Amino acid sequence: MAQTAFSDKLPAAKKQTSLVRKLSSVNRITVFFTAIVSGVALAVFFYSILTAQHEQATRASVSGYRILLDDFGLRAEGAAVSIAGRPDVVQAALNRNHQYAYKILSELTKQMRVDFIVLTDTSGNIISRGHSERYGDNIINQRAVKEAVRGRATYSYEKGVLVRFAIRAGCPVYDSERRIIGAVVSGFNVSSADFLQKARATFGCDVMLYDGTEAVSSTIADEAGDMLAPPIGDDCIEAVFSRGEMYAEMDRIGKDQYYVVYWPVFDTAGKPAGMWALASNFSSSRAELIRTIGLRMLEIIAAVIILLVILVSIIANRIFGLFMRPLQRVSQAFTALSQGNANLSVQLDVPSNDEIGTLVSGFNKFIRKLYAIVKDVKESKATLVTAGEDMTGRADDTSSSITEIIANIENIHAQMDEQESSVEQTVGSVNEIASNIDSLERMIQNQSSSMTEASAAIEEMIVSIASVNQSVDKMVDSFSLLREKAQDGFIKQTDVNTRIGQIETQSNMLQGANTIIADIATRTNLLAMNASIEAAHAGKAGKGFAVVADEIRKLSKSSAAQSKRIGEELSNVQQAISSVVGASAELSSVFKSVSDELNVTNQFVLYIKQAMQEQNEGSKQIDASLRIVNGNTTSVQNASREMAAGNKSILAEISKLQNNAAGMKAGMDEMAMGARQINETGAALESISTQVKEAIQKIESQIDQFEL
């Protein structure tokens, strides 16, 4: 084997890099990371300031908004008190005239600059609204109305008929005797988009209103214009709805980060029914801060970098003067020793009594020690060469025998590994099949239970449908009978109308006859008077005629009186007949309307009957299908149980096979371990012999290079 020189063992010469340059690179890296750390620290500092200012500003806006809401409540209460005292409103409450009240209230709504004004009676029934023509609703359950009709003016947050949330103020309306005759309610619709947008413009924060945990209004919208609001977490629900407290958190709404403050809206019972939320856009504020202070931060970081460069340059020059020159002399001495034909008699002068001097002194001691070692090695070189050659021959024989044994053991071990892998895969597959069978059995049991319940429900539904069909059949019969009766009543009423018309005509004829009788009685009376006069002229000869004339005159007076009385009775009869004629006509119209409605209702009942019959047929088909599916489910369940039993038997046999394979593998592992140890020993011996031989050769070649 060729000998290797001492210098060949040294690493190949590379382009030398000055230590000063390395230190300068380290300094530049230090300056760079210092600048980064400084920038990050400044950013964290400004970010913490921004967060604190942002939270403080948002909470201040919340306080201002709550004051604004209280001010709106006082404004609503003042408007209600002012309106309730107006004479025209009092008159509208007394008259309960909707049109008159609407005209007054609609004008007052504009004048008072409120969203709504409502006038009610003492029972809470709405007489009129100023913002809508709808009336008649009962709102006595609203606290403002309830307190007002009791004589107390107040305001509160409440839900309404036409608005989701409102500030309502109520005031009683008194008459001239100070009796309560109604109530005036005025207020503001705080859930309207216009109200929230005005609040947003005033405080610079987005506003949201929740009914419970559902957002009903928000000033935040996405690109499509749809309302956006943050979801409500459990902590917020606990704080606002359970404890009635304010809650704040940083949350993401859409694409931006917001600082959101929630506080409760209390109902008439004093319990939280909803909540307000003010959200301040933290993302936009952060972007504005970055634009404002970004240039300033760059200026500060640049100044810090310049100062660090100057300081590091001064320190580097000082280090070079104190340490680098002595180190350069030591480096030159080591370079000389690394050359071929190294001279071990070289010694360096100790420059100082510091660490550098200690380094030089140690170098001199190392050279002297190396001198003694090289001298002893040269003397023992021949003995080492003979021993190394003998060791190499014996190591080669041992290595070949051990290699053949290990190859056989590894072949058997590989086969055992393949068998064990196959068994494990089989166990995994069988376990997975068992798990799937168990899951299938549970699902089949659940399906069987569900199918049984569904079948029972369908049967109950079929019974119910049959009962409904019977009821519908009875309704059809009843409606048919009722329609026939209505038609019969209409025909009879028409006949009655005709007979009443005939009676009216005959009564008119009787009135005419009575008039003729009255006229005859009048003429008879005149003739009787003339006869009496003529009898008086005749003297005794006309006395008998005078008696007859007198009787005729009495008879004519009696006839006239009876005729007058009959005329009056006939007039009353005619009026009664006229009333009966009108009522009969209305009754005929009613009979016709009833008959028409009965026809329509009968058609609906027939449609219902047809639909119930179709549903009955569909339910029977579903029940039959469910019975078939239930039978199939039972068969599948039995098969699944048989599969599970067979699977358990397979698992037991595989477990026995695994135990046997594990025992065989353990024995082979022990044999392999022993063989490996023997092989490692042989390989180590061979390697050692080779290394010894190479080392002897290297020592021989290198030792020869040193000059003693």
Mean pLDDT of all residues in 20-30: 65
User: What end-to-end distance do the CA atoms of the chain give, in Å?
Assistant: 26
> Which tokens is 602 given?
């009968």
Greatest alpha-carbon span in the chain:
218
Burial class from Cβ neighbours inside 10 Å (0-12, 13-18, 19+) for residue 89 reads buried
Gap between the Cα atoms of 20 and 313, Å rounded: 11
User: What is the per-residue pLDDT for 351?
Assistant: 61
CB 532 within 8 Å of CB 549 = yes
Cα 635 to its chain centre, rounded Å, is 44
User: What is the per-residue pLDDT for 10?
Assistant: 42
Mean pLDDT of all residues in 427-436: 72
pLDDT in tens, 196-226: 888 888 888 889 888 888 888 888 888 888 8
Gap between the Cα atoms of 707 and 643, Å rounded: 89
Gap between the Cα atoms of 580 and 577, Å rounded: 5
Long-range contacts of 639-642 (CB under 8 A, 24+ apart): 640/437, 640/440, 640/441, 640/444, 641/441
CB 170 within 8 Å of CB 155 = yes
pLDDT bracket for residue 5 (50, 70, 90):
very low
Q: Are strands 272-281 and 256-266 parallel, antiparallel or unpaired?
A: antiparallel
Q: Residue 487 contacts by C-beta under 8 Å, 6 or more apart in sequence?
A: 595
CB 508 within 8 Å of CB 577 = no
- Residue given tokens 């939270």 in the structure block: 55
pLDDT bracket for residue 622 (50, 70, 90):
confident
Gap between the Cα atoms of 445 and 633, Å rounded: 8
pLDDT in tens, 675-696: 667 667 766 666 776 777 677 7
User: What is the per-residue pLDDT for 326?
Assistant: 65
DSSP per position, 5-58: -GGGGSPPP-----HHHHHHHHHHHHHHHHHHHHHHHHHHHHHHHHHHHHHHHH
Residues of the chain with CATH 3.30.450.20: 85-190
pLDDT in tens, 408-418: 667 666 766 77
User: What is the per-residue pLDDT for 180?
Assistant: 92
214 forms beta bridges with 211
132: pLDDT strictly greater than 70: yes
Write b or e for each residue in 526-557: b if 16 or more Cβ atoms lie within 10 A of its Cβ, otherwise e.
Answer: eebeebbeebeeeeeebeeebeebeebbeebe
Mean pLDDT of all residues in 73-82: 88
DSSP per position, 470-530: HHHHHHHHHHHHHHHHHHHHHHHHHHHHHHHHHHHHHHHHHHHHHHHHHHHHHHHHHHHHH
6: pLDDT strictly greater than 50: no
Residue type present at position 301: I
Q: Are strands 116-120 and 214-218 parallel, antiparallel or unpaired?
A: unpaired
> Which tokens is 95 given?
């008259």
Options 3.40.50.720, 3.30.450.20, 3.30.300.30, 3.40.50.1970; CATH of 85-190: 3.30.450.20
Gap between the Cα atoms of 479 and 315, Å rounded: 113
Mean pLDDT of all residues in 360-369: 74
Q: Which of 55-69, 380-394, 616-630 has the highest mean pLDDT?
A: 55-69
Strand blocks (E) in 246-351: 247-253, 256-266, 272-281
CB 134 within 8 Å of CB 150 = no
Gap between the Cα atoms of 684 and 694, Å rounded: 15
Mean pLDDT of all residues in 278-302: 68
Long-range contacts of 257-260 (CB under 8 A, 24+ apart): 257/281, 257/282, 257/283, 257/286, 258/206, 258/230, 258/282, 258/283, 259/54, 259/55, 259/58, 260/230
CB 345 within 8 Å of CB 371 = yes
User: What is the per-residue pLDDT for 1?
Assistant: 41
User: What is the per-residue pLDDT for 297?
Assistant: 63
> Which tokens is 283 given?
């993302």
Minimal CA–CA distance to 555: which of 524, 534, 533? 524
Q: Residue 181 contacts by C-beta under 8 Å, 6 or more apart in sequence?
A: 90, 93, 94, 121, 122, 173, 174, 175
Minimal CA–CA distance to 527: which of 556, 493, 484? 556
pLDDT in tens, 565-614: 777 777 777 777 777 777 777 767 776 777 777 677 777 777 777 777 77
Minimal CA–CA distance to 674: which of 418, 413, 391, 400? 413
CB 602 within 8 Å of CB 480 = yes
Minimal CA–CA distance to 463: which of 605, 629, 612, 606? 612
Summary mean pLDDT of the chain: 75
Gap between the Cα atoms of 133 and 116, Å rounded: 12
Residues of the chain with CATH 1.10.287.950: 398-692
Give the range among 90-99, 200-209, 304-313, 396-405 with minimum mean pLDDT: 396-405
Does residue 151 or residue 391 have the better pLDDT?
A: 151
184: pLDDT strictly greater than 90: yes
User: What is the per-residue pLDDT for 316?
Assistant: 64
Give the range among 147-161, 197-211, 270-284, 530-544 with minimum mean pLDDT: 530-544
Does residue 658 or residue 465 have the better pLDDT?
A: 465
User: What is the per-residue pLDDT for 13?
Assistant: 43
Minimal CA–CA distance to 102: which of 79, 86, 126? 126
Q: Please give the DSSP secondary-structure letter assigned to residue 340.
A: S
User: What is the per-residue pLDDT for 282?
Assistant: 76
Does residue 22 or residue 246 have the better pLDDT?
A: 246
102: pLDDT strictly greater than 80: yes
Element housing 686 (H / E): helix 543-703
Please give the CATH topology (third level) of the domain spanning 398-692. Answer: Helix Hairpins (1.10.287)
Gap between the Cα atoms of 527 and 317, Å rounded: 170
pLDDT bracket for residue 174 (50, 70, 90):
very high
Half-sphere exposure of 344 (CA within 13 A, CB side): 18
DSSP per position, 186-213: EEE-TTSHHHHHHHHHHHSSEEEEEETT
